[in-house]
Chains A and B, each alone.
Chain A
Amino acid sequence: MTNSYWLLALLVVPLVGAALVMLVPKANETLAKQLALLISLVTFGLTIAMCLEFVVAKAAEFQFAYSISWVSNYNINFALGVDGIALVLIALSTSLVPIVLLAGWHDADGARGTVRGYVALILVLEAAMVGVFAATDLFLFYVFFEAMLVPVYFLIGRYGGPRRNYAAVKFLLYSLFGGLLMLASLIGLYVVSGNLTGHGTFDFTSLAALSIDPTTQKWLFAGFFIAFAIKAPLVPFHTWLPDAAAESTPGTAVLLVGVLDKVGTFGMLRYCLELFPDASHWATPLVIVLAVIGIIYGALQAIGQTDIKRLIAYTSVSHFGFIALGVFVMTSQGQSGSALYMVNHGFSTAALFLIGGFLISRRGSRLIADFGGVQKVAPVLAGTFLVAGLSSLALPGLSSFVSEFLVLVGTFERYTWVGVVATLGIVLAALYILLMYQRTMTGPVPEAVAEKVHDLRGREVLAIAPLLVVIIALGFYPQPVLDVVNPAVDRVMHAVGSTDPAPQVAPVAEGTHK
């Protein structure tokens, strides 16, 4: 098979770019930023070009495959390839990076680390994100999974808020713990594949074809699942997230919550379900309970927060509950909904964190109580924040609604009461978003707000506008993404041996009215 170089290019361009950025003189901060932005735009352009080459009809297969032997003794390959789900997540990642760079133009000014270091780390992170979604060799996946931690650790630890060290170490230890469990399972999986076929492999497709006995599956599943549940994160593994997100710069928070955490839910969908179908069914009740608790618990936490960034982080805990729920209800609506949710949540959370960041940096406080009446002094900022918030609460017509409703309908058709409870989350979502909006944006204007908060400037509008356009566009026309995702979901459904429940009344063919 001939190798395709698209994915390799998406890995190499940001990495080489990061190196180039580090060559820029330390004092010339603007040049470093401009260069990084240019590189991220090139990467994004490449992604678009790649997406245009993608064959939708074969979205269940791994396209743009690239493979060279890496550690031949252990049959480890540097193997890349994307199905529909990985494709859209890579597109999400590479589209968010330029936005994050542009929006956070001054985020690293005056930080402990250098500005060129900040933007270079973001580019390194971008490469790692592409890698983790593109890897089709499990060992390579693991390497990227761990490699992502390094830039994020430094991004939080050197460029974050007052409690950055605590947050960074907490993030790191949680992730390393999860990674270690995954590593153990990974090795176990290699051993099992060796026992079953005579030669061990890390190749995803070969591993997915194995029939592993159910008991072994459970052990291996547990290692992967816990690692992913920490990353996603599911309650009760979530407490690192509010700290990490609150202490990060807004840009880091976007990449952390918007993309990195998706590796968890992506991993559940691709690796847990396809590699360990029996164990996945066995664990389904537990995961569903955790997910539903996450939806409600995360939302209630968000309502109770006094810090804007922690609030947004907890909304994500709730949303990750929805995504995990959709993955494990084993219906095509649930899983396609989850895959789409990963994308939509990335964009709407990015908008929330970035606009929240604009607000916070102006006023110099993250506390909700320090704000009020912002709509009066900064109507554009307030308006964009409202749209982002409405997307977060899944307003029909905006992108998150489509994915959230698909997850709910996918849940409901198999587990009625779980669906009912999860649906109650939409009331809580309205509360956490609108309470925050009311407290920060409406009412009389406090003096400090009137003095310090001014409206969005050109660069900021330029960074936010694409997010809002995507949020609205995918609300009304999500089908292109669904078309790409559906075949891959069908592959997963086939692997776990699940089919959608049939309706109670056989549907009348549309258009043939009696």
Chain B
Amino acid sequence: MSPFSGAVTHAAEAAPAVTAATGTFQLIWLLIALPLVGAAILLLAGRRTDKWGHWLGLLASTASFVVAVLLFVAMLGQSDDQRTQVQHLFNWIAVGTFDVPVDLRLDQLSMTFVLLITGVGSLIHLYSVGYMSHDRDRRRFFGYLNLFVASMLLLVLADNYLLLYVGWEGVGLASYLLIGFWFFKDSAAVASKKAFVVNRVGDVGLSLAIMLMFVTFGSVSFEGVLGSASKGSQQSMTWIGLALLLAACGKSAQFPLQSWLLDAMEGPTPVSALIHAATMVTAGVYLIVRSGAIFDASLPARNAVIVVGAITLLMGAIIGCAKDDIKKALAGSTMSQIGYMILAAGLGPVGYAFAIFHLLLHGFFKADMFLGAGSVMHGMNDGVNMRRYGALRTVMKVTWITFMMGWLAILGIPPFSGFYSKDKIIEAAWSVSPVAGLVTLVGAGITAFYMTRLFAMTFHGEARWTDDVHPHESPWIMMFPIAILALLSAVAGFILNLNNAFVDWLKPVTGLEEPQLPFSSAVLPIAAIILVLIGAVLAWIPYATRAVPEVAPAGNLLTRAARADLYGDAANEAVFMRPGQYLTRWLVWFDNRVVDGVVNGTAATIGGLSGRARRLQTGFARSYALSMLGGAALVAAALVLVRL
């Protein structure tokens, strides 16, 4: 018996009926159209919109949020089985039985994402007005941000996998453009390309998954695929599941496609907060949870998801421990936290709802901390090295307090947000497999270590600032969004967990099962909190109470490996990049010398090409006329022969 066995029911069998969108729900398309129009104006009208472009960008995003709230209210007014609304826009691609419309689906799952994307998105737009105020290309930045929001909304609203793919790649494009926003830096240009190419490897997975769905079910719509998933062969479901997992690995920076996320920190910090923490990188979790019916039908696929999530959870956390660059430490943390979500998604119906719950809360507290990091950088001349931070609580009080909310939330200290989701994931993991359970527990301890290290190095201990730095608090336009996110980090988990409100809300889409534990369920939160406290204290003592060296010590083997991103890049270079470069170089030689050479050589041998070529060059018209004449004579002769 597999160590990862677990009771599974098919969520899709309880799937609610689909309602054609009417009334308020006819506004669904506006969610996407508003930011899309914003992006189009900002990117097409160019410098003419420089003066007010950022306000337009903010307006477009906020308007989309207002529509989202209207839709949410309308959805609350519907009964549970009336909440899946589908809006048909037009027919996109139809060839034979391959018939894909542009349909948008708003249900509890996509509604959650829509609120997260437009809500946090709008806050980050507002923050960026301040953060990017000195950049002469601020308008272009907002154009890309709007493009991102539109694409991400398309991703979560699509009612079929091919349309989802458009949003999927659209966010990838926006991410590419934003990582490379400062394209005149080589490092940014390289990082953006890397992100796109690695994501493309994941896209191979999504492409194959869609093709497999079509071959298996004759459909690529959610209803057509997920509604019949239980009827497909287990082998097919496993392959589809694995292909979807590959896609998720690319987008969500999971092992083995994790390497791009740390480099992605080349982008401006609001981008790291919105795209590379709160929303886009969580798309893989969405994909897996949305495709729950596929994974319900395949134990091997679920196990693969759990393994990938567990590995990345630990990898990201270990990398996070060793980084001195505040953004890279947070990026490692993001990898790790998404590892939690992926792992939870792999647990099946015991985990789906909590994967999304954690995703939502992580969106709040990680965006809070990334924006906080941006605020710190803003006050520190864009320095990111935490070894030159320290004691910033004295000069950046608001940033310190708000960051603290995020820190407590990610640690999972009750009643802060992270506690409610992470604890449930740990519980669910134990119910499926002790190994997975142990990983989530240990991960919680490591998380406490690296987050406390980051927090202490930045805000506590001695000031280690370079001489030219005069730290100061950021303007209100940046602090206001942070404050909101800090508040959400503090209380959202508690509020949404009242009467299981959030999980019950999602249940009709994701299904829900109570985890069955062989021991009292009170054991786990206590164990988790003990581990968290140990981790936090282990970090607090050296980084808050003792002097932190301004130059990183050499460190042991593990530290050095973690600093080198656990050799992910080195492996990519050795296995793909360098052999690839040799291969293409050799192939170019091969094409020029061998393929072309054989052709030229053969021609020269048979017909004396080189000589004839020279003649053609000198007296072309005659020669051509001759060959045409030759051809014509041949035709004539043949035609005569035919008549005979």
Chain A's nearest CB lies how many Å from the CB of B144? 12
Which residues of A are found within 8 Å of B93, using beta-carbon distances?
A: 402, 406, 478-479, 482
Q: State whether A426 and B203 are in contact (beta carbons under 8 Å apart), knowing that A413-B211, A443-B186, A510-B224 are contacts in the complex.
A: yes
Q: State whether A337 and B216 are in contact (beta carbons under 8 Å apart), knowing that A420-B208, A505-B232 are contacts in the complex.
A: no
Which residues of A are found within 8 Å of B184, using beta-carbon distances?
A: 373, 375-376, 442-445
The answer to whether B24 has its CB under 8 Å from any CB of chain A is no
Q: State whether A396 and B169 are in contact (beta carbons under 8 Å apart), knowing that A304-B585, A500-B97 are contacts in the complex.
A: yes
Is A397 a contact of B166 with CB atoms below 8 Å? yes
Which residues of B are found within 8 Å of A376, using beta-carbon distances?
A: 183-184
Is A507 a contact of B228 with CB atoms below 8 Å? yes
Which residues of B are found within 8 Å of A510, using beta-carbon distances?
A: 219, 221, 223-224
- 9-residue interface stretch from A127-135, A278-286, A428-436: A428-436
Q: State whether A513 and B223 are in contact (beta carbons under 8 Å apart), knowing that A479-B94, A500-B97 are contacts in the complex.
A: yes
Is B204 a contact of A426 with CB atoms below 8 Å? yes
Q: State whether A397 and B186 are in contact (beta carbons under 8 Å apart), knowing that A477-B92, A505-B228 are contacts in the complex.
A: no
Is A408 a contact of B211 with CB atoms below 8 Å? yes
Which residues of A are found within 8 Å of B616, using beta-carbon distances?
A: 169, 172
The answer to whether B72 has its CB under 8 Å from any CB of chain A is no
The answer to whether A333 has its CB under 8 Å from any CB of chain B is yes
In Å, the complex CA distance between A333 and B627 comes to 41
Which residues of A are found within 8 Å of B580, using beta-carbon distances?
A: 303
User: Which of A172, A190, A441 is within 8 Å of B642, CB to CB?
Assistant: A190
In Å, the complex CA distance between A412 and B220 comes to 14
Quick one: closest A residue to B613, CB to CB?
Answer: A169
Chain A's nearest CB lies how many Å from the CB of B391? 37
Quick one: closest A residue to B620, CB to CB?
Answer: A157
In Å, the complex CA distance between A462 and B301 comes to 51
In Å, the complex CA distance between A351 and B418 comes to 50
User: Which of B92, B183, B200, B627 is within 8 Å of A375, CB to CB?
Assistant: B183
The answer to whether A341 has its CB under 8 Å from any CB of chain B is no
Q: State whether A405 and B208 are in contact (beta carbons under 8 Å apart), knowing that A443-B186, A507-B228 are contacts in the complex.
A: no
Chain A's nearest CB lies how many Å from the CB of B213? 9
Is A397 a contact of B232 with CB atoms below 8 Å? no
Is A500 a contact of B96 with CB atoms below 8 Å? yes
The answer to whether B634 has its CB under 8 Å from any CB of chain A is yes
In Å, the complex CA distance between A336 and B99 comes to 13
Chain A's nearest CB lies how many Å from the CB of B378? 25
Is A442 a contact of B180 with CB atoms below 8 Å? yes
Q: Quick one: which of A271-321 are within 8 Å of B by CB?
A: 297, 300-301, 303-305
Is A297 a contact of B642 with CB atoms below 8 Å? no
Interface string of A433-463 (1 = CB under 8 A from B): 0110110011111000000000000000000
In Å, the complex CA distance between A304 and B215 comes to 35
The answer to whether B1 has its CB under 8 Å from any CB of chain A is no
- 9-residue interface stretch from A30-38, A173-181, A221-229: A173-181
Is A435 a contact of B631 with CB atoms below 8 Å? no
Q: Quick one: which of A81-100 are within 8 Å of B by CB?
A: none
Quick one: closest B residue to A427, CB to CB?
Answer: B200
Quick one: closest B residue to A188, CB to CB?
Answer: B638
Quick one: closest B residue to A239, CB to CB?
Answer: B596
The answer to whether A423 has its CB under 8 Å from any CB of chain B is yes
Q: State whether A442 and B207 are in contact (beta carbons under 8 Å apart), knowing that A333-B98, A409-B98 are contacts in the complex.
A: no
In Å, the complex CA distance between A337 and B596 comes to 31
User: Which of B165, B219, B599 is within 8 Å of A396, CB to CB?
Assistant: B165
Is B613 a contact of A507 with CB atoms below 8 Å? no
User: Which of A187, A333, A406, A413 is within 8 Å of B639, CB to CB?
Assistant: A187
Chain A residues touching B, range: 35 or more
Q: Quick one: which of B211-238 are within 8 Å of A by CB?
A: 211-212, 214-219, 221, 223-224, 227-228, 231-233, 236
Is A503 a contact of B217 with CB atoms below 8 Å? yes
The answer to whether B30 has its CB under 8 Å from any CB of chain A is no
Interface string of A483-514 (1 = CB under 8 A from B): 00010010000000000111111111011011
Which residues of B are found within 8 Å of A438, using beta-carbon distances?
A: 189-190, 193
Is A431 a contact of B197 with CB atoms below 8 Å? yes
The answer to whether B78 has its CB under 8 Å from any CB of chain A is no
Is B196 a contact of A430 with CB atoms below 8 Å? yes
Q: Quick one: which of B479-493 are within 8 Å of A by CB?
A: none
- Listed in ascending order, the chain A residues whose CB lies under 8 Å from chain B are 73-74, 146, 150, 153, 157, 165-166, 169-170, 172-173, 176, 179-180, 183, 187, 190-191, 194, 200, 235-236, 238-239, 297, 300-301, 303-305, 331-333, 336-337, 373, 375-376, 379-380, 383, 390, 395-397, 401-402, 405-406, 408-409, 412-413, 416, 419-420, 423-424, 426-427, 430-431, 434-435, 437-438, 441-445, 476-479, 482, 486, 489, 500-508, 510-511, 513-514
The 13 sampled A-B contact pairs (Cβ below 8 Å) are A74-B639, A146-B631, A187-B642, A238-B595, A305-B588, A396-B169, A401-B166, A405-B210, A423-B211, A476-B92, A476-B102, A479-B93, A482-B93
Which residues of B are found within 8 Å of A191, using beta-carbon distances?
A: 642
The answer to whether B170 has its CB under 8 Å from any CB of chain A is yes
Is A396 a contact of B638 with CB atoms below 8 Å? no
Of B17, B166, B642, most A-chain CB atoms within 10 Å: B642
In Å, the complex CA distance between A502 and B219 comes to 11
Is B96 a contact of A332 with CB atoms below 8 Å? yes
The answer to whether B95 has its CB under 8 Å from any CB of chain A is yes
Which residues of A are found within 8 Å of B628, using beta-carbon distances?
A: 146
Q: State whether A419 and B211 are in contact (beta carbons under 8 Å apart), knowing that A173-B609, A406-B98, A505-B216 are contacts in the complex.
A: yes
The answer to whether B15 has its CB under 8 Å from any CB of chain A is yes
- List 4 tightest A-B contacts by C-beta distance, closest first: A503-B218, A304-B584, A442-B189, A332-B96
Chain B's nearest CB lies how many Å from the CB of A74? 5
Quick one: closest B residue to A236, CB to CB?
Answer: B595
Is A300 a contact of B583 with CB atoms below 8 Å? yes
Which residues of A are found within 8 Å of B210, using beta-carbon distances?
A: 405, 409
Is A183 a contact of B635 with CB atoms below 8 Å? yes
Is A303 a contact of B584 with CB atoms below 8 Å? yes
Chain A's nearest CB lies how many Å from the CB of B180? 7
Of A416, A431, A505, most B-chain CB atoms within 10 Å: A505
Q: Quick one: which of B342-356 are within 8 Å of A by CB?
A: none
Instruction: Taking A169-B616, A508-B223 as given, write out 4 further A-B residue pairs in contact, using a Cβ cutoff of 8 Å, ordered by the A residue number.
Output: A304-B584, A333-B98, A405-B210, A503-B219
Of B188, B211, B634, most A-chain CB atoms within 10 Å: B211
Is A427 a contact of B197 with CB atoms below 8 Å? yes
Is A482 a contact of B587 with CB atoms below 8 Å? no
The answer to whether B405 has its CB under 8 Å from any CB of chain A is no
The answer to whether B475 has its CB under 8 Å from any CB of chain A is no
Is B208 a contact of A423 with CB atoms below 8 Å? yes
Chain A's nearest CB lies how many Å from the CB of B569? 17
Is A409 a contact of B214 with CB atoms below 8 Å? yes
Chain A's nearest CB lies how many Å from the CB of B494? 36
Which residues of A are found within 8 Å of B340, using beta-carbon distances?
A: none
The answer to whether B168 has its CB under 8 Å from any CB of chain A is yes
Q: State whether A412 and B18 are in contact (beta carbons under 8 Å apart), knowing that A180-B631, A486-B95, A502-B218 are contacts in the complex.
A: no
Q: State whether A397 and B90 are in contact (beta carbons under 8 Å apart), knowing that A173-B603, A380-B46 are contacts in the complex.
A: no
The answer to whether B173 has its CB under 8 Å from any CB of chain A is yes
Chain B's nearest CB lies how many Å from the CB of A479? 6
Which residues of B are found within 8 Å of A501, using beta-carbon distances?
A: 215
In Å, the complex CA distance between A172 and B624 comes to 9
Is B168 a contact of A514 with CB atoms below 8 Å? no
In Å, the complex CA distance between A332 and B94 comes to 10
Of B200, B217, B580, most A-chain CB atoms within 10 Å: B200
Is B596 a contact of A513 with CB atoms below 8 Å? no
The answer to whether B617 has its CB under 8 Å from any CB of chain A is yes
Chain A's nearest CB lies how many Å from the CB of B426? 35
Which residues of A are found within 8 Å of B603, using beta-carbon distances?
A: 173
Q: State whether A406 and B95 are in contact (beta carbons under 8 Å apart), knowing that A173-B613, A375-B183, A505-B231 are contacts in the complex.
A: yes
The answer to whether B106 has its CB under 8 Å from any CB of chain A is no
Which residues of B are found within 8 Å of A153, using beta-carbon distances?
A: 620, 624
Is B203 a contact of A409 with CB atoms below 8 Å? no
In Å, the complex CA distance between A477 and B186 comes to 37
In Å, the complex CA distance between A146 and B617 comes to 19
Which residues of B are found within 8 Å of A301, using beta-carbon distances?
A: 584, 587-588, 591
